[in-house]
Structures are given as structure tokens and as C-alpha cells.
């Protein structure tokens, strides 16, 4: 079993890229409706063809850490900035908004922001915690309310292993997996608050997105 960001396998299974598409999912609540929605059923079918199943749906919201004087909230805020998004689709969106693409590996983000080679980085709250950039960032836009960046990072189990279980064992696995959804949601929200607390201690200003600012992000036209 594994917690795995589905979009990381998007190069091999293109359908999995839907788990990290800009502006598609804008809240935890919306993302979790996929479990029973038609889009989730189609995604499950694609995933099971690769040999894995999803016992527990988990989404992570994206944050933006910026060393610039202005926070990244509206599309105009990224004009001319050098930002690392960590995903091709987000690069396309932000390039259309006027930003300069940076494809730095994650272990170079801190040094790049410290030296000024990078203005901002977009990733999950847990990712930003690992980057340790709170002392060089001046602003943090959290995913506590809304965000244009949501990643599906579910709990996965080998379908071969699952299929070898007795029916009663499979039922227990499904029930246990579903029971963990509220825990995954609460943990993700706790991480969003934790990163805000960490950046406050580092001296950064904290900002939140709203339905209005997310809608402005949706207005970006990508060729």
C-alpha cells in the first residue's frame, strides 16, 4: 500500500494527470465528491487497469511561497515572476499569465529563493514544509479555503493483492478505507494551518484565496 500523487504517473498513464489539473478542483469538498461522481468512476476504471485500487481518497491543497513584496493571489501578481510550479499544466497556465518558468528540482528551491534566482514556489503545504523556505519568503498564499492547485494523493493498494483477499476481507478493506477519508481531510487541513503558522514565525504575511480570486485564475487563457 502507498500514498501516491497520481499525477506523478501521468507520463505513463495520461488520464492520471487529471489529479493535478490547474483550476479544475478548487476545494477539498469538491475533490471528495469525485469518489461517487462520474468523473471519479472513470478515473477509478483507468487506475484499476494499471493494477491498483483506491481505498482512501486524499487531496492536498497547494500553497504559494513568495519572496517578492506582493503575494501571488490574482493572475496579475505573477507577471514577470520566476515561479516553480512542479507540473507541466501549471507551467502552461502561469506562462500565459506572464510568468517566467523555472523547472528547478525540489531540493534546489530553497537556495534559488535565497539567492533571488527564484521568486516563488507552488506546492502542497507538506511540500513547502520540507523546502524550509519560511525564512526567505515574505508572503504565503495558503490553500486553507480555496486554491487553484489541488493534488489527488490517495491511498493505493495492489489490485492483485486485493483480488486475492476473501470477500469478507475485501469488504473490511473497503469499509476501513472509506472510514479514513475524514482523517485524510482533517490531516490535509491541519497541514495547511501548520504551514501558515510556520511562515508567520518566519516573518511572512499570510494570505488566503477566495472563490472570487480562484475565478480570476480560471480566466487565464492557455494556447
Residue 171: CB atoms within 10 A of its CB come to 11
Pairing label, strands 139-142, 155-158:
unpaired
Residue 53: CB atoms within 10 A of its CB come to 23
Answer for the pair 67, 111: CB distance below 8 angstroms, yes or no.
Answer: no
Per-residue pLDDT at 178? 96
Averaged pLDDT, 8-34: 92
User: For residues 97 and 116, what is the distance between their CA atoms, to the nearest angstrom?
Assistant: 21
Q: Grid coordinates representing 109?
A: 528551491
pTM of the model: 0.89
Under DSSP, the state recorded for 99 is P
Query: What's the Cα-to-Cα distance from 42 to each of 3, 16, 18, 29, 36, rounded to whole Å?
Result: 20, 11, 11, 19, 10
Answer for the pair 223, 96: CB distance below 8 angstroms, yes or no.
Answer: yes
Angle at the Cα of 34 from the Cα atoms of 221 and 26, rounded to 5 degrees: 40
- Is residue 39 pLDDT above 90, yes or no? yes
User: For residues 25 and 150, what is the distance between their CA atoms, to the nearest angstrom?
Assistant: 6
Torsion of CA 157, 123, 10, 180, to 10 degrees: 20
Closest CA to 13 of 44, 37, 34, 36: 44
pLDDT in tens, 144-174: 989 989 999 999 999 999 999 999 999 999 9
Per-residue pLDDT at 68? 87
- Is residue 217 pLDDT above 90, yes or no? no
pLDDT in tens, 112-126: 999 999 999 999 999
Per-residue pLDDT at 100? 65
Per-residue pLDDT at 101? 65
CATH of domain 2-218: 3.40.190.170
Which segment of 68-72, 77-81, 82-86, 217-221 scores lowest on mean pLDDT? Answer: 217-221
Burial label for 35, CB within 10 Å (0-12, 13-18, 19+), is middle
Closest CA to 152 of 29, 38, 61, 46: 61
Amino acid at each position: 500500500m502507498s500514498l501516491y500523487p497520481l499525477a506523478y504517473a501521468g507520463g505513463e498513464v495520461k488520464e492520471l494527470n487529471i489529479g493535478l489539473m490547474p483550476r479544475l478542483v478548487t476545494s477539498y469538498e469538491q475533490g471528495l465528491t469525485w469518489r461517487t461522481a462520474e468523473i471519479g468512476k472513470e478515473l477509478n476504471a483507468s487506475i484499476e487497469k494499471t493494477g491498483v485500487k483506491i481505498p482512501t481518497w486524499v487531496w492536498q491543497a497547494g500553497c504559494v511561497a513568495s519572496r517578492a513584496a506582493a503575494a501571488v493571489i490574482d493572475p496579475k501578481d505573477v507577471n514577470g515572476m520566476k515561479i516553480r510550479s512542479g507540473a507541466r499544466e501549471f507551467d502552461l497556465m502561469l506562462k500565459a499569465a506572464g510568468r517566467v518558468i523555472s523547472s528547478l528540482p525540489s531540493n534546489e528551491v530553497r537556495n534559488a529563493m535565497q539567492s533571488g534566482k527564484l521568486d516563488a514556489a507552488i506546492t502542497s503545504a507538506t511540500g513547502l514544509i520540507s523546502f524550509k523556505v519560511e525564512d526567505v519568503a515574505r508572503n504565503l498564499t495558503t490553500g486553507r479555503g480555496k486554491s487553484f492547485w489541488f493534488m489527488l494523493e490517495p491511498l493505493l493498494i495492489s489490485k492483485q493483492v486485493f483480488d486475492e483477499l476473501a470477500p469478507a476481507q475485501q469488504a473490511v478493506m473497503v469499509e476501513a478505507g472509506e472510514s479514513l477519508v475524514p482523517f485524510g481531510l482533517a490531516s490535509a487541513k491541519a497541514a495547511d494551518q501548520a504551514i501558515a503558522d510556520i511562515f508567520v514565525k518566519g516573518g511572512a504575511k499570510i494570505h488566503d484565496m477566495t472563490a472570487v480570486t480562484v475565478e480570476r485564475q480560471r480566466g487565464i487563457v492557455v494556447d
